[in-house]
Structure 1
């Protein structure tokens, strides 16, 4: 599976798509079967590795991801974190630069702060596990999300309209932190890094602000890291898909909210970029039946998706049987396709 994953990110045709996730993935069912639960698994490298490995051993995913939230860099830069519960993910509760965004600086000891060392150790543990022969991606919050953690979401979004030069300055500092963290995770043997930037959604900051403020930073990110990269932006991203593809990522991850997945995939493939997605997490995987998952998976597979995956982060209460249904649907789809040749 390592070679297939690398081939997919290199833009090569590989036939059967992988099934896995590039977005956050800790569920209560997986915590129960693995014996590693949050919030401890967010701060303990052995428990983090144990819960992540359950994505493969119990959910049968062929691509797994850590960490299980997107606040790690924010914490390292001074944000206070509510670590939540088994059913509630960590969240940022303070914004250390809300009064003075111009003072944001990236410390020289960033990689020693907060949970960044935990994630690095968990990556190493997973890659050394002889029984876990699947690719691993390491997730980081994107520059817009990180800027909102440090400054406050309302202040940051307002600045993209009224003071774009200040917004761009803090984005450039945030992307420096993203680059440092991403390269550290790649050195720890992650097979790719995932930049998840919910605030870059056109439904949040708007396409023009993304193009002018965030896109240049993402381009610099890909020129500065030493390995494969994936970009996930939440929501209806149709209006910025061409811009996302111009940022230099090996793959993009999209939600079910995109209006025309086939168009997105065709455009991405012409750009030598893979597409990951996009089974609904809030609706199908969380609320519906394995048969509903199967039907939606078939629709994704009909569009020539490269990696069949949840469209966004999994709800903690997502049933394990619905994750297993994704793999079963891919296998059935491939079997049926071979039978028609």
Structure 2
């Protein structure tokens, strides 16, 4: 039997249409060591060389049976391009921000005209072209990047950013606007090069980090600009916010993203799904990456996956970024769970 067109099925899902079967894959980072070893493309080279980045991304389909190609494998590409100092990481440790330019000067910087030529942005753009040619029209290309609040926190330091949301909100608003512009410019170019979906990960926007009111007044206005800007080049957009995002689910949905990627920290997944669906937004998730995919057994993965599917998620996926030591058998168990669930419900 011919395999379904996973790209078509994913795009249909994000358009609110019913796919042939529920897609399964990842919208969050997946730098799994076993995939590196099997593909022959390991980080840190796969973080900075487009050919190896493409090979490692494609291994998600070849070796894990995922129906998505998600790349790059860290969340500091835009921060690096805007002047953050980066620890490049190792095979088992993702790149991370050491400090940002606003930690030395509180002035909000200007958006550089040559943004798309800075840091590793050209690497991701080239990897996109390679993957589009390799995948053809059969697999969806999903590019991940920092959301506006995460990027802002990288530029000025997370502690400073959180304090500013309380005592200097005017600076936060200006900084988030700058970061939103950077996200849009980078995302639009990724879509022009062949990507299908852009995921914006914004952990700092979680109610675990800032108050829902601060999210609504300081972050949400910028967030809402992103989907509109990307539809102009035919792209889909997804917002990922970590933790117990229940108090802001309605606000996230109102931003207009095609999908919401939710973590296992959500307290009422069924209600979150219903709220998102009322706004015409798909829900992606939300099998625990730490307690289940990393530490659990395949049967644990299936049990939690079945629960997510029963709650109505539109795409079965890890709730957040995968730990490098996550066993490959647990990723395959996600696909097996979807197959079993869809088979039972036909």
> TM class by shorter-chain length?
over 0.9
Residues 1:119 and 2:127 are matched in the alignment: no
TM-score (norm 1): 0.97
- TM-fit CA distance, 1:133: 2.6
Check whether the contact 2:22–2:342 (CA below 8 A) recurs between aligned residues.
no
Deviation at 1:94, TM superposition (A): 1.8
Q: Once the two structures are superposed, what CA deviation does each residue of 1:179-208 show, in whole Å capped at 9, x if it has no partner?
A: 100001000110110000010010001111
The corresponding residue for 2:281 is: 273
Match of 1:68 in 2: 73
**Equivalent of 1:320 in 301, 309, 328:** 328
Match status 1:30 vs 2:30: no
> For structure 2, which runs of at least 5 residues remain unmatched after alignment?
1-5
- CA deviations 1:19-50 (Å, max 9, x no partner) are 00110011001001001001110000000000
Distance 1:333 1:70 in 2: 32
CA contact (8 A) 2:8 2:138 kept: no
Matched pairs, number: 338
Residue by residue over 1:262-293, the C-alpha shift from the partner in whole angstroms, topping out at 9 and shown as x without a partner, is 11111111111000000000110000100000
In structure 2, distance between residues paired with 1:130 and 1:217: 33
Partner of 1:264: 272
Q: Check conservation: 1:53, 1:132, Cα contact below 8 A.
A: no
Q: CA deviation at 1:13?
A: 2.2
Please identify runs of 4+ aligned residues in structure 1 that moved more than 3 A.
Answer: none
Q: Does 1:83 align with 2:88?
A: yes
Closer, same or farther in 2 for the Cα pair 1:130/1:15, shift >3 Å?
closer
Alignment equivalent of 2:245, drawn from 237, 244, 252: 237
Alpha-carbon shift at residue 97 of structure 1 (Å): 1.4
Instruction: Provide the rounded CA distance (Å) in 2 between the counterparts of 1:326 and 1:95.
Output: 37
Runs (5+) with no aligned partner, structure 1: none
**Structure 2 residue 164 is matched with structure 1 residue 159:** yes
Of the candidates 313, 321, 329, which is equivalent to residue 305 of structure 1? 313
CA RMSD of aligned residues (A): 1.1
1:330 paired residue number: 338
